[in-house]
Structure 1
């Protein structure tokens, strides 16, 4: 089971990374295009280089249409796709000022408790994400510029969220087992280095 959970978390994170890189390129090209379009509309280009300016504008130099819609959907997917690997390696932000002086046994139970709570929150989020997916699938709403169905973004995020749920349940189970056994969490238990 450990290998499957690790493979799912890593594959989802890699896919999310590729989506994030594509969004970075898309946003950069859109900003450069918009800036170049404004530059081509300056008095200098309008009067001195009218032919070149018009040629470039005819090529469609400008902001990428619908880039905001793609960015919005892609970032949502990236967030959900990084959640499993973050959960697996315990990379969420923690503050242990008050618990650092407590005995190890107490800290193990505290870690197990918060892992279970976080798992419940993730499951709740994904359940509500599924509710949004059903609603947008049912009403057929599309984005303004690109006209792609809004439910597509929800479906992609939901798929990554299912992986997050699987990883979270597995991590919570492992933390509780470690607390019950009264031993320290080994690097091989959850995947921590």
Structure 2
């Protein structure tokens, strides 16, 4: 089961990374277009080569609706990275006080943290589903590109459902570990004492 969950988490992270890479490229192209458009609109270019300047400003510029695509893509990427972060215990933690606790208390805290995190992920997926239904039914579109807003909700909800599934799995694993005293998934945090 762990191999399946790890493959699912890694697949989502790769997909999120690909989307994030495309968004970075899109942003760079848009910024370069905006910069070049400003150069070709400048007094110097209009004096040196007015025809070329006018021709270039006709098609060189920022990508139309780039911020809308970035907004939708980053939301998906965040949810796509959550499963891998969850299964590898990659979330930020403050262990200053926890290191002073006995092993049993730390296992209890890890169990509670994983169960609460799973519950929050399920809540997020549920509410994204409600938002998806709302955006789908009212037909809202983005301002510039006019793509249906529910598309962004849909891809984010798929990623959040995967994150919730992995969160539930990790909550179950940490609960079993707490009650049996065995380590089922070694992540380097357990066994430091």
TM-score class normalised by the smaller sequence: over 0.9
Aligned to 1:4: 4
Q: Is the 8 Å Cα contact of residues 108 and 184 (structure 1) preserved in structure 2?
A: no
Q: Which structure 2 residue ranges, 5 or more long, are not aligned? A: 188-193
C-alpha distance in 2 between matches for 1:57 and 1:101: 64
C-alpha distance in 2 between matches for 1:32 and 1:86: 33
What is the SS of the residue equivalent to 1:100? helix
- Cα deviation code 1:142-184 (max 9, x no counterpart): 0011110000000000001111011000000000101101134
Aligned to 1:13: 13
Relative to structure 1, is the Cα distance of residues 104 and 128 closer, same or farther in structure 2, using a 3 angstrom cutoff? same
Superposition deviation, residue 132 in structure 1: 0.6
C-alpha distance in 1 between matches for 2:147 and 2:19: 17
Please provide the CA RMSD for this pair. 1.4
1:181 aligns with 2:185: no
C-alpha distance in 2 between matches for 1:4 and 1:138: 35
What is the SS of the residue equivalent to 1:187? coil
Q: Is the 8 Å Cα contact of residues 142 and 148 (structure 2) preserved in structure 1?
A: yes
Superposition deviation, residue 186 in structure 1: 4.1
C-alpha distance in 2 between matches for 1:183 and 1:88: 17
C-alpha distance in 2 between matches for 1:125 and 1:163: 11
C-alpha distance in 2 between matches for 1:45 and 1:102: 69
Instruction: Please give the TM-score of this superposition, normalised by the length of structure 1.
Output: 0.94
C-alpha distance in 2 between matches for 1:185 and 1:3: 12
Instruction: Please give the TM-score of this superposition, normalised by the length of structure 2.
Output: 0.94
State how 1:5-84 maps to structure 2 within 5 Å: 5-58=5-58, 60-84=59-83
C-alpha distance in 2 between matches for 1:127 and 1:44: 56
- Cα deviation code 1:42-99 (max 9, x no counterpart): 11111211121122123x1001000000000000000000010000101111111111
Superposition deviation, residue 23 in structure 1: 0.3
Structure 1 runs of 4+ with >3 Å offset: none
Superposition deviation, residue 187 in structure 1: 2.0
